[in-house]
Amino acid sequence: MPQRPAHLLYDHDRKAVRLDPHDPDFVQDPYPAYAYLHAHAPAFFWDDFGFWCLTDYESVNRALRDRRLGREQPADQKPDPATRTHLKHFDAIEANSMLEIEPPVHTRLRKLVNRAFVSRQVERLRPRVETLCHTLIDGFEQTGEAELLGAYATPIPLVIITEMLGVPTDMGPQLVEWSHRMVAMYMHGSDEETQRRADEAARDFAAFIRDYARKRSATPGDDLLSLLIAAQEDGERLSEDELVSSAILLLNAGHEATVHQLGNAVSTLLAQGGDPRRFFGSDADAAATVEECLRYDPPLHMFTRYAYETVEVAPGLTLKPGETVGLLLGAANNDLTAFEEPRSFRPGRPDQKNVSFGAGIHFCIGAPLARLEMQVGLKVLFERLPSLALKTPPAYGDTYHFHGLERLDCVWHAS
């Protein structure tokens, strides 16, 4: 039976947990806490967040697909805009984001965007991703050391998504800065300064997309932004606000999670010892390795849903309309009842069914692209730098529900 971590307090009578998401021990390794919760409280009320959470794979997987639960906040639960004037630009983008809305609007937007992200379309990008990975390594190989989050993990997905959208790649650093400031809003306990910076980023990001979309409208290309401008579904174009929100979502989601998954994966693979190239002997090996990296240490650990009606989300736990439930993806991926020896890294495991990209109608639209970037990025990295090793032990950032490294300082034998 898993021991209770010192930083986790469990009230059996209330099925409630006190677990500070900023606690250093939890930030660096949340999996002992998840193991304890699996054994004692697979469904619990997280006092620090103020809502119920699910940890077991079956409940999380089912809830992700349950249409009685959704991402769009019920109308009677939405805050008064007058109390959020300091977040008017951020809220305007969220209001039209595919991630935050439900059918029928979600269905229409997703159909328009999805055509660029289906597997057969994404596979055509493989040569470009390979070339980019080699070019990046060419730039630092001879130094014998590098901080790989900045030098490798960030530019791979950022360059690819900017090229797909038709946005200037030299805007990359600015887009990352805007993205980081906006994503900080999703962390636990954002303060007024964080909110102010997020709103300013949303304002500037939206202004950039509006201006650039006008230029693409006048001189369209074969990029995704041009396609979205021209796209029609049942005779209805994207509104300008929908276009802006969709472009920002694709730019943000198109690199944030993949950056951290690449970093987590490199750290995980190096921890296995031996020659890392053994994980990438074939395309099938690479695919299996990436799936296990996604399961073993994913970059997103919580998605939330609102109950739209009375719904039982776990044995003995029924939500009322308007209540929130947290779906702990990182915990579900490491549930002993769903995965044999979940804290053992086993590429090709027969019970592979991770929920790192979600499930149901909100399944990550960029999953095929993220998988391709990881398969190629990791394979090229370890083929080019087989002696790669950690220079210093990596540390995870205090950014729950995101789970990613602050830095990835590595060394290798330069040729």
Q: Locate all alpha helices (DSSP H) within 48-191, ordered by sequence.
A: 57-65, 88-94, 105-114, 119-123, 126-140, 148, 155-165, 172-183
Structure tokens at 238: 């994207």
CA–CA dist 52, 47 (Å, integer): 9
Of the listed ranges 124-133, 172-181, 330-339, 382-391, the one predicted with least confidence: 172-181
State the amino acid at position 21 in one-letter form. P
Of 66-80, 219-233, 352-366, 371-385, the least confident = 219-233
Is the separation of the CB atoms in 355 and 240 below 8 Å? no
Q: Find the DSSP H helices in 219-282.
A: 224-230, 240-253, 256-271
Closest CA to 331 of 71, 59, 99, 100: 59
Q: Strand (E) positions, 43-186?
A: 43-46, 51-54, 69-70, 145-147
**CB atoms inside a 10 Å sphere around CB 339:** 21
What string of DSSP letters covers 193-219? HHHHHHHHHHHHHHHHHHHHHHHHHHS
Each residue of 53-91: pLDDT tens digit? 999 999 999 999 999 999 998 877 777 777 788 899 999
Q: Taking 70 as the threshold, does the pLDDT of residue 254 lie above it?
A: yes
Which tokens belong to 336?
Answer: 């002993």
Tell me what pLDDT residue 43 has.
98
- In the numeric block, which tokens belong to residue 376? 């190629």
At 271, the amino acid letter reads A
CA dihedral of 392, 22, 330, 28, whole degrees rounded to 10:
20
Averaged over 13-21, what is the pLDDT?
97
pLDDT digits (tens, 9 = 90+) for 169-201: 889 889 989 999 998 888 887 788 999 999 999
The domain ranges of the chain are 74-301+327-411
Assign 108 a pLDDT band (cuts: 50, 70, 90).
confident
CA distance 59 to 305: 13
Query: How far apart are alpha carbons 304 and 400 in whole angstroms?
Result: 13
Q: For domain 74-301+327-411, say whether CATH 1.10.3720.10 is its number.
A: no
pLDDT digit string (tens) for 137-151?
A: 999 999 999 999 999
Candidates 80, 94, 399; CA nearest to 252 is 94
| Average pLDDT for the chain | 93
pTM (2 d.p.): 0.94
- pLDDT recorded at residue 405: 97
Instruction: Say if residues 263 and 153 touch (Cβ distance below 8 Å).
Output: yes
Output the six-digit token pair for 13. Answer: 């009578």
